[in-house]
Amino acid sequence: MKSKIEAARLQFETDLAKATTSEEIENLRIAFLGKKGLITDLLKGLKDVSVEEKKEIGKDVNILKGFVAKSIEEKQTELKKAEQEAKLKSAKCYDITAPDNLELGTLHPISLVQREVEKVFVSMGFTIEDFSEIVDDYSNFEALNIPKHHPARDMQDTYYLDNGQLLKTHTSAAQNAIMKKYGAPLRVIFPSRCFRNESIDASHENTFFQMEGIMIDEDISISNLIYFMKTLLSEVFKRDVKVRLRPGFFPFVEPGFELDINCEICGGEGCPTCKHSGWIELCPCGMIHPNVLIEGGIDPEKYTGFAFGLGLTRLAMMEYGIKDIRVLNSGNLKALTQFDTRNI
């Protein structure tokens, strides 16, 4: 009888190790503890044992019974937990508050042109950087050769925070930090939202997007600047666009230029979007002023560079024929969703 009990224990341990589902464990419970189960049989067999042996063997069978019941319960709990976790993992998140008829979104026209321009510059070895929209006076003005009380500040009034910080007026605000972070040589673009305290009309907004780019190396000249600007425009417009380069003043470049493109809304005849001039200022640019390089920790004796501040908002308007800048921040989905032609 003792060897039968031992055999039953061994059998149970082997079977238990093999059981991997709740169902298999339940079958095991029936096979050992059920009415016709192995342990029930052993208990029934006690009647054939001598009175002296009955006490000890009865105790052994009961110990085995307790062991089997406890092991089954533990394994059952363990398995249920694992099954539940697997179920949760494979289940899709279900948000009962979400409307069930949501259409796929589209990219905003500014995001579309931003991606296009990024692709062009990345293919020419530029990296893309990000920078805060809230900056200090130093980054936005002083590091760019615009000291306090410089008249150039008048053209860039913005929104000031109580702590003296401000909403950046141009992407140029990131130039200094990026120069300090990477040093020279450097090829980088950094798109961002910018802000100005402007009266709003068809071509002015208080919130707009620019993409700044800088390239710094030995022997960089205006020819490099013109080459990159031409490549950019032909890649983005994929057609001939009339361009003009004229001198422009920005304290952080010397010489500085205004790069204008023929107004794509009126074809150059004059309209409210181009303020009736036939031209749109798209990409002011120039050779980085030595003071700005020095402030960024770069030796102007060894390195030169160009910088540009591409008006992403204006580029989107020209590319998609959007007459009024106010549409872009309007949230008017009828107007804004018609430009994304990707297959999504």
Query: Shortest approach of ligand DAH to residue 195 CB, angstroms?
Result: 11
Tokens found for residue 184: 């020279």
Q: Which is nearer to ligand DAH, 49 or 243 (CB)?
A: 243
Tokens of 142: 């002083």
Question: Under DSSP, is residue 186 helix (H, G, I), strand (E, B) or coil?
Answer: strand
Closest CA to 109 of 234, 208, 232: 208
Closer to ligand DAH by CB, 46 or 152: give it: 152
- In the complex with ligand DAH, the residue whose CB is nearer, 129 or 212, is 212
Q: Is the peptide bond before 185 cis (omega within 30 degrees of 0)?
A: yes
Q: How far is the CB of 322 from ligand DAH (least distance, A)?
A: 20
Cβ proximity to ligand DAH: between 170 and 187 the closer is 170
Q: How far apart are CA 188 and CA 320, in angstroms?
A: 26
Q: What is the dihedral of CA 191, 197, 200, 204, to 10 degrees?
A: -40
Name the residues that contact ligand DAH, by CB under 6 A: 170, 172, 212, 250, 253, 256, 284-286, 307-309
CA distance 31 to 62: 16
Phi then psi for residue 240, to 5 deg, are -75, 125
- Nearer to ligand DAH by Cβ, of 19 and 175: the residue is 175
The Cα diameter of the chain in Å comes to 119
Tokens 């002011």 — which residue?
A: 284
Smallest distance, Å, CB 260 to ligand DAH?
13
CB of 244: closest distance to ligand DAH in angstroms?
Answer: 16
Please report, for the chain, how many H helices and E strands are present, in that order: 11, 10
Q: How far is the CB of 172 from ligand DAH (least distance, A)?
A: 4
Compute the least distance from the CB of residue 100 to ligand DAH, in Å.
45
Cβ nearer to ligand DAH, comparing 37 with 213: 213
